[in-house]
Amino acid sequence: MCRIGVYICECGPNIGRTLRLPALVQSTGNLTGVVRVRRVPVLCGREGLDFLGEEIVAQGLDRVVVAGCSPREHESTFRSVLERAGLNPYMLQVANIREQCEWVVRDRDQATGLARRLVAGAVARVRHHEPLLPSEIAVSTDVVVIGAGTAGVRAALTLAGKKRVVHLVERLPCVGGKVPLYEDVFPGMACAACVMDPMLDELLHHDGIRVHLMSSVEELLGFKGNFTVRLLQSPRYVDPEACLGCGACVEACPVRVPDEWNPGLAERRAVAVPYPGVLPSLAVVDPRHCLRWQGEDCRACEEACPFDAVRFEEEARVQEIQAGAVIVATGFDLSDPGRFPQYGYGRLADVITSFELERMLNSSGPTGGRVLRKDGTVPGHAGFVLCVGSRDPRAAPHCSEVCCRYTLKFLHRILAQGAVDRATVFHAGLHLPGGASQDLYRALEGNPSVHFVRMGAPNSAGILEQNGSLAVRFPDEEGRVRSHLVDMAILAPAMEGASGNRELARILHLETGGTGFFDQGITLLDRVEAGREGVFVAGCAAGPTDILGAATGGQAAAGRVLSELVPGETLRLEPVTAGVDETLCSGCAVCEGLCPYGAIERKDDPPRIMVNRVLCRGCGTCAAACPSGAVHCAHFSDGQIAAEVEAMLGREDQGERSKEKGSRIAG
């Protein structure tokens, strides 16, 4: 027989003005199993808690009901009192007679009647409670970082500095993201390679960092402290230990295809060293274009390689990694300006993107740093069109943040090297935060070669061909259509989340916003929150930012991981999970597809399912769906729920009748 103590908290002046407490005490005393009912002025106060602990011991209670405020406020407080008094903390039930009764029901009799039912429900329920023990599991403090751009690399190095094992997953054959492809970088006009190369060198030579190139995350199971990450690595077909990136194979390759590192500017071979200065400096075979995958037995690269580094037999590799946290640093992609036909991108030869200009300006790029029109001539007049897609609710509603500044950078660079005679910037308001970018702007003021022209609205220009030149047309602030002739137009397309972010979001169980960024968890005080415990977002993956913002984001995400996952600390797993009665389970696995955490696994011989208690979070949707009553849910069992419902409806709780498990179908 149970020994239940019921403690009715008056919550100072809060409970008992409407409720008739004497009547509540009296009816509660008649409930099955109740051996003690006490009113307490303030149960959550120091005295109240001590009193409760003493009562449990003195009265030999095995179960406790507290009638008072919402369990949200003090359920955990009272559970620890039970624990200190030698009872299992789950032998408690809280009846919320404050928020859900005293405070909302005005009629004294009705309120008292409702409170009686709430307490009766709690008493009936607690009779079915069972002691539950939490388990402690070790956490992994290893970290998976996705994306090896500025943000991902900063994160990896920060983590490795504290001796964390880092797996840096990059889908490209090289590290560094976009920045190593630029010539110089705002705001200080430093050389991009000078900024990035030392950092990337440190990365590639760090013992604690495993760089997984040409890899993608295919699956993420588990939770903070206990993730299992499945990686798929595509073959490079080149042995990284043997290759030096000398390029002998490249020269031998007979295939020519457009070069995605230099869009519209150059061709590459089917085997290639991505771009000059790339790190790591290694060749890679592209099976989409290599003749061997078109059914021909070409071995040109293999034969040309002085180091026997080519490995046609290499295969894709799947690898499982245990990690405690994940940092998403997948960066951005520029949107395709072809989406807005009025700009003529793709149709008019000398309409290019800012990224293409970066490649032209790069001294080791395809034009050796010279700005050239498609016909090979030097443009006299360059036009920079800002906000191509950005700040337009019909396209990308956000400001891409860096375009105005990189345009100033371009102006300084092309004027310094005399690449053009004249430049005009078509903008809809310049976004130049910070002192250094204001300096960049001021240094151009009064320069007769540079003109800033204001458009009436973002994303409102169009470009037409006119007598061998390009006419940039747009409505000005008064709505009058204006037209300027230029020889080359450089578009600043909106930044959007990296291609593949939506698929990655599905795998990581995150959400992306409308423009593909992982920006849904961000708050005013937290730019690295991804919306899921143990997963963080850094750099442009969270939204447009500059190099400094990306680096800071990487460090911030790493800082969060360092403070949240400490070596040697364990993770306490709540015991409220599902379980299976194998004698009843038919193995139909209806539950398997419903589990949001992949915690249910199907087994054969005999067919049945098993619940992984580490992954299970206790939501109970499996138990609700089980057609044979084999799946049960700790602390929210069918018997506990039914007892509470019956008692609240005024039905006498049928004591020992158990509606758990088999009795439901045996019914």
Partner 1 sequence: MERGSGATQSGEGPAVFEPVIVAFLCNWCACEGADAAGRARLELPANVRPVRLLCSGRVDPQHVLEAFACGADGVLILGCRPGECRYREGNLHAMKRVALLRRLLGPLGVETERLDLEWVAAGEGKRYAEVVTGMVESLRALGPLKPQSASTHTTAKAPDARTKVEL
Ligand X SMILES: Cc1cc2nc3c(=O)[nH]c(=O)nc-3n(C[C@H](O)[C@H](O)[C@H](O)COP(=O)(O)OP(=O)(O)OC[C@H]3O[C@@H](n4cnc5c(N)ncnc54)[C@H](O)[C@@H]3O)c2cc1C
The partner in contact with residue 625, picked from ligand X, partner 1, none with C-beta cut-offs of 5 to 8 angstroms by kind, is partner 1
The partner in contact with residue 354, picked from ligand X, partner 1, none with C-beta cut-offs of 5 to 8 angstroms by kind, is ligand X
The partner in contact with residue 334, picked from ligand X, partner 1, none with C-beta cut-offs of 5 to 8 angstroms by kind, is ligand X
Q: In the complex with ligand X, which residue's Cβ is closer, 329 or 648?
A: 329
Checking DSSP bridges between strand 92-96 and strand 135-138, what pairing results, if any? Answer: unpaired
Q: How far is the CB of 407 from ligand X (least distance, A)?
A: 9
The partner in contact with residue 576, picked from partner 1, ligand X, none with C-beta cut-offs of 5 to 8 angstroms by kind, is partner 1
Q: How far is the CB of 433 from ligand X (least distance, A)?
A: 12
**267 bridge partner residues:** 258
d(CA 86, CA 373): 83
Q: Count Cα atoms within 13 angstroms, Cβ side, for 416.
A: 12
Residues in contact with partner 1, shown as a per-residue x/- string from 14 to 33 under the rule CB under 8 A: -------------x------
Checking DSSP bridges between strand 215-221 and strand 284-285, what pairing results, if any? Answer: unpaired
Q: Which stretch binds partner 1 (CB under 8 A): 350-358, 469-477, 547-555, 614-622?
A: 614-622
First to last CA, the chain: 25
# residues near partner 1 by CB under 8 A? 54
d(CA 204, CA 218): 24
Q: How far is the CB of 358 from partner 1 (least distance, A)?
A: 39
Tokens of 22: 């004497």
Tokens of 313: 């037999």
Residue 615 contacts partner 1 per CB under 8 A: no
Q: In the complex with partner 1, which residue's Cβ is closer, 59 or 621?
A: 621
Q: In the complex with ligand X, which residue's Cβ is closer, 53 or 549?
A: 549
Cis peptide before 627 (omega within 30 of 0): no
d(CA 634, CA 523): 34
**Which DSSP letter does residue 498 get?**
P
Q: In the complex with ligand X, which residue's Cβ is closer, 128 or 171?
A: 171
Q: How far is the CB of 230 from partner 1 (least distance, A)?
A: 20
Tokens of 353: 């993107």
Residue 100 contacts partner 1 per CB under 8 A: yes
DSSP structure string for 168-214: EE-SSSSSSTTGGGSSEETTTTEEHHHHHHHHHHHHHT-TTEEEETT
Q: In the complex with ligand X, which residue's Cβ is closer, 177 or 620?
A: 177
The partner in contact with residue 178, picked from ligand X, partner 1, none with C-beta cut-offs of 5 to 8 angstroms by kind, is ligand X
Task: Give Dmax (Cα) for the chain.
Answer: 100
The partner in contact with residue 183, picked from partner 1, ligand X, none with C-beta cut-offs of 5 to 8 angstroms by kind, is none
Q: How far is the CB of 503 from ligand X (least distance, A)?
A: 8
Query: Alpha helices of 224-313 — where are they, by DSSP H?
Result: 248-252, 300-304
Among residues 38, 299, 617, 660, which is the contact residue for partner 1, using CB under 8 A? 617
**Under a CB-based contact definition with an 8 Å cutoff, are residues 461 and 455 in contact?**
yes
- Binding residues for ligand X, rule: CB under 6 A, are 146-152, 169-172, 177-179, 182, 185-186, 216, 329-332, 334, 354-355, 358, 402, 406, 409, 498, 500, 504, 539-541, 545-548, 550
Touching partner 1, residues 447-486 (CB under 8 A): none
Q: In the complex with partner 1, which residue's Cβ is closer, 79 or 269?
A: 79
Q: For residue 324, give the amino acid letter.
A: G
Q: Is 202 exposed, middle or buried (0-12, 13-18, 19+ CB in 10 A)?
A: middle
Q: Count Cα atoms within 13 angstroms, Cβ side, for 439.
A: 7
Q: How far is the CB of 602 from ligand X (least distance, A)?
A: 30
d(CA 74, CA 49): 11
Checking DSSP bridges between strand 92-96 and strand 63-68, what pairing results, if any? Answer: parallel
Using alpha carbons, select from 287, 213, 214 the residue that is nearest to residue 253.
Answer: 287
Residue 594 contacts partner 1 per CB under 8 A: yes
Q: How far is the CB of 131 from partner 1 (least distance, A)?
A: 19
**What angle, rounded to 10 degrees, do the helices at 71-84 and 46-58 form?**
50
Residues in contact with partner 1, shown as a per-residue x/- string from 370 to 409 under the rule CB under 8 A: ----------------------------------------
Touching partner 1, residues 495-524 (CB under 8 A): 509
Q: In the complex with partner 1, which residue's Cβ is closer, 364 or 654?
A: 654
d(CA 388, CA 281): 34
Among residues 83, 99, 314, 601, which is the contact residue for partner 1, using CB under 8 A? 99
DSSP structure string for 1-68: ---EEEEEE-TTTTSSSSS-HHHHHHHHHTSTTEEEEEEES-TTSHHHHHHHHHHHHHTT-SEEEEEE
Q: Which stretch binds partner 1 (CB under 8 A): 115-123, 281-289, 414-422, 481-489?
A: 115-123
Cis peptide before 493 (omega within 30 of 0): no
Among residues 219, 244, 641, 660, which is the contact residue for partner 1, using CB under 8 A? 641
The partner in contact with residue 312, picked from ligand X, partner 1, none with C-beta cut-offs of 5 to 8 angstroms by kind, is none
Residues making contact with partner 1 (CB under 8 A): 27, 70-72, 96, 98-101, 103-107, 109-111, 113-114, 116-118, 121, 509, 576, 590, 594, 596, 617-621, 623-625, 627, 629, 633, 636, 638, 641-642, 644-646, 648-651, 659, 664-665, 667
